[in-house]
Amino acid sequence: MSDVNIKGLKTFFHTREGVVKAVNDITFSIPPGEVVGLVGESGSGKSVTCHSLLQLLPSPPAQVEGGEIIFSGEDLLQAKEWRMRELRGKSISMIFQDPMSCLNPYMTVVEQVAEPLLIHKMASEEDAKQQAIDMLLRVGVNKIKERLNAYPHEFSGGMRQRAMIAMALITKPDLLLADEPTTALDVTVQAKILKLLKKLCAEIGSSVLFVSHDLGVVAEIADRVVVMYRGKVVEQNTTQELFRSPTHPYVKALIACRPTFTGNSEILPTVEDFMGNPSPMPEKRKQVKKSDPPAENTEGWIKVRDLSVHFRQAKQGDVVKAVDQVSLTIPRGKTLGIVGESGSGKTTLGRAILRLTPITSGNVQWQDQDIASVQGKDLLAFRKKMQIIFQDPYASLNPRLTIEQALLEPMQVHRIGQSRKERVDRVVSLLEEVGLEPDYRRRYPHEFSGGQRQRICVARALSTEPEFIVCDECVSAMDVSVQAQVLNLLSQLQAARGLTYLFISHDLCVVKHIADEIAVMRAGKIVESGDAESICLNPQEKYTQELMDSIPSTSRTGTF
């Protein structure tokens, strides 16, 4: 049991463009045996803090400029490298976000889990191997006895993360640093891993520094919470107090702009609303022309019947049923949410409806026309009306085209607008509609932030005047505050233009916020569907219930 006290820590990065003050004078402590959650969005400095504790930052750009980190009476920042090596893996262990890239692909899992014992001479080779097997069983890698010589790539994501935990805890460290350990995992797996971590660390008596961008996840596991914003600590308190009565406006914003299950608001508040300072980039939320009101018949506008998408696996020759006999209807002017974990087939479904993936069988009816069989000019006409927005806004934009070029191209292909001038005018109004400065249209994608790029993708999707948009995890890669902005934008656009959305996501809270109806998918099939309220608050199927239960309670209710 050890005390960890961080005082006035400053870590700066010296880059070609100048000095980045990643961590700028922070102070907090981790009491022995407790779990402290370190929360912040990207750029807050939370990961850098975590890495600074173990002095794992690459030294030319990164430099610790000041402060102390007192661990059991010793200042880690003054420790020499050989002393740090003694502590790493033995008294202070770390687990990382992506277990695939963080495990050595050329060593067996058992070897890697046993390694800390061998490095710190805590056991003989035989003994270490046995302890590793025991530890792996303890963390829930049940079939390890049959897979003693298995390599990391032969395990699933959840199993790999459990192996990482085993590797970190095998030496019974005083402090465990966890850097976003559940971010890459499905929500049901995440719930189990959080429980495991909490239980094991309590048994071993380790304190934990749990870094995450997700307040809800942190609330599940932490005793105390420290919130960081732009390199500084803005508030710290016990978890209960922080949620019940947050004081700093940023913390209030973080709590408020998460869509929750019980929340009813159409428009989410954003960080700017709380911080009081006007957005550095003025958001022009122009209400653009009203399109025709949605047709009277809002029923069954897009009908999917027995849709199947099968892939043939080149290696084994067996067939993967990504989408298996799925039927659903998407009402006009509304949003249908598709929820599922990885491998559920939700992304394939979205792409199949848009004919970006070949359909094996079944049909997709759109106003009595079977989309699956149209060709040529008809296909082009159909593409004009149905668009898609992807998850990764950077990969979604051609890095060699300016924004203007990227927005003009669809208009040229679909012959929208009579002259170039008319098209450029449309580009300007599109950019204003999504809240971007039109003068920026001559810039390139890499010059924008993630949230801005996603808005550009929205603008591009709108450039063909579509009626239906598939949103494929389009807010999943974002910070909570940016996510709120984009969700608000999507809602406004739906109201102004009468758009219909198919909103695909793994994040139940987001889907509940934006969808009118929800379908839950698993292993290619629809498990349950119905209107959003009843699915979320009164699920019938066991899997749906399991999904709902896995959501951290704070995320569900917004309160502690």
Partner 1 sequence: MKNFFISRLLQAIPTLFVIATLTFFMTRFAPGGPFDSDKAIPEEIKIKLQSHFGLNLPLFDQYLLYMKNLLAGDLGPSFKYVGWDVSELIQLAFPVSLSLGVSALLIALLIGLPAGMLAALRKNTWWDYLPMGIAMVGICLPSFVLGPILIMVFATKLKLLPALGWYSWTDLILPSLTLGLFYAAYVARLTRAGMLETLKQDYVRTARAKGASPGRVLVKHAMRGGLLPVVTYLGPAFAGLVSGSFIIESIFFIPGLGKFFVTAAFNRDYTVVLGTVLFYATLIIILNLLVDFLQAWLDPKAREQR
Partner 2 sequence: MAGSESEGAAMSTKAGASLTRDAWIRLRSNRMALVSLILLALVVAFSFIGPLFCEYQYDEQNLDEQFLGPSKQHWFGTDSLGRDLFARTSYGGRISLAVGLLATSVSLLIGVTYGMVAGYVGGKTDAFLMRMVDILYSLPFTIFVILLMVLFGRNFLLLFLAIGAVEWLTMARITRAQTLNLKRAEFIESARALGFSHARILFHHILPNLLGPIIVYATLTVPAVMLLEAALSFLGLGVQAPMASWGSLIKEGAEKMDIAPWLILFPGLFFCLSLFCLNFIGDGLRDALDPKSSKD
Rg (CA), the chain: 25
| 410, 435, 539, 552: which one binds partner 2 (CB under 8 A) | 410
Instruction: Give DSSP secondary structure letters for 267-284.
Output: S---HHHHH-SPPSS---
- Write out the binding residues for partner 2, residues 418-447 only, by CB under 8 A: 437, 439-440, 442-444, 446-447
Which residues of 255-377 form beta strands (DSSP E)? 302-312, 319-330, 335-339, 361-366, 369-370
| 56, 380, 495, 537: which one binds partner 2 (CB under 8 A) | 380
Least Cβ distance, residue 5 to partner 2 (angstroms): 25
The answer to whether 245 contacts partner 1 (rule: CB under 8 A) is no
| 68, 86, 392, 546: which one binds partner 2 (CB under 8 A) | 392
The answer to whether 83 contacts partner 1 (rule: CB under 8 A) is no
| 413, 420, 533, 538: which one binds partner 2 (CB under 8 A) | 413
| Contact pattern for partner 2 over residues 464 through 503, marking x by CB under 8 A | x--------------x-xx--x------------------
- Write out the binding residues for partner 2, residues 52-81 only, by CB under 8 A: 60
Name the one residue in this structure whose structure tokens are 């270490």. 128
325: left (phi over 0), alpha (psi -120 to 50) or beta: left
The answer to whether 397 contacts partner 2 (rule: CB under 8 A) is yes
CA dihedral 30, 36, 37, 43 (to 10 degrees): 10
Instruction: Report the alpha-carbon distance of residue 177 to residue 189 in Å, rounded.
Output: 20
Cβ of 67: how many Cβ atoms within 10 Å?
A: 18
Q: Which residues share a beta bridge with 389? A: 471
**Cβ nearer to partner 1, comparing 116 with 552:** 116
CA 264 to chain centre: 23
Least Cβ distance, residue 285 to partner 2 (angstroms): 15
Instruction: Give DSSP secondary structure letters for 111-144.
Output: HHHHHHHHHTT-S-HHHHHHHHHHHHHHTT-GGG
- H/E stretch holding 514 reads helix 508-514
The answer to whether 315 contacts partner 2 (rule: CB under 8 A) is no
The answer to whether 64 contacts partner 1 (rule: CB under 8 A) is no
Q: Which stretch binds partner 2 (CB under 8 A): 178-186, 214-222, 377-385, 528-536?
A: 377-385
Strands 224-229 and 35-39: parallel
The answer to whether 557 contacts partner 2 (rule: CB under 8 A) is no
| 346, 384, 423, 513: which one binds partner 2 (CB under 8 A) | 384
377: left (phi over 0), alpha (psi -120 to 50) or beta: alpha
- Sheet of strand 468-472: strand arrangement: 386-389, 468-472, 500-505, 335-339, 517-522, 525-531
Strands 369-370 and 232-238: unpaired
Q: Which stretch binds partner 2 (CB under 8 A): 199-207, 285-293, 408-416, 517-525?
A: 408-416
Name the one residue in this structure whose structure tokens are 């008294």. 91
- Write out the binding residues for partner 1, residues 130-159 only, by CB under 8 A: 151, 153
Question: At a CB cut-off of 8 Å and minimum separation 6, what does 307 contact?
Answer: 323, 325, 326, 327, 349, 352, 353, 359, 361, 362, 363, 364
Q: Which stretch binds partner 2 (CB under 8 A): 193-201, 211-219, 315-323, 451-459?
A: 451-459
The answer to whether 281 contacts partner 2 (rule: CB under 8 A) is yes
Least Cβ distance, residue 135 to partner 1 (angstroms): 14
Q: Which stretch binds partner 2 (CB under 8 A): 26-34, 108-116, 131-139, 382-390?
A: 382-390
HSE of 242 in the Cβ direction (CA atoms, 13 Å)? Answer: 26
Least Cβ distance, residue 164 to partner 1 (angstroms): 8
**Which of partner 1, partner 2, none lies near 20, with the C-beta cut-off 5 to 8 A by kind?**
partner 2
Instruction: Give DSSP secondary structure letters for 531-544.
Output: EHHHHHHS--SHHH
DSSP state of 318: P
The answer to whether 396 contacts partner 2 (rule: CB under 8 A) is yes
**Which of partner 1, partner 2, none lies near 349, with the C-beta cut-off 5 to 8 A by kind?**
none
The answer to whether 116 contacts partner 1 (rule: CB under 8 A) is yes
Question: Which residues contact partner 1 by CB under 8 A?
Answer: 54, 56, 85-90, 93-94, 96, 98, 101-107, 115-116, 119-120, 151, 153, 167, 315
Binding footprint of partner 2 on the chain (CB under 8 A): 13, 20, 22, 41-43, 48, 60, 230, 271, 279-281, 351, 354, 356, 379-380, 383-384, 386-388, 390-392, 395-400, 402, 409-410, 413-414, 437, 439-440, 442-444, 446-452, 457, 460, 464, 479, 481-482, 485
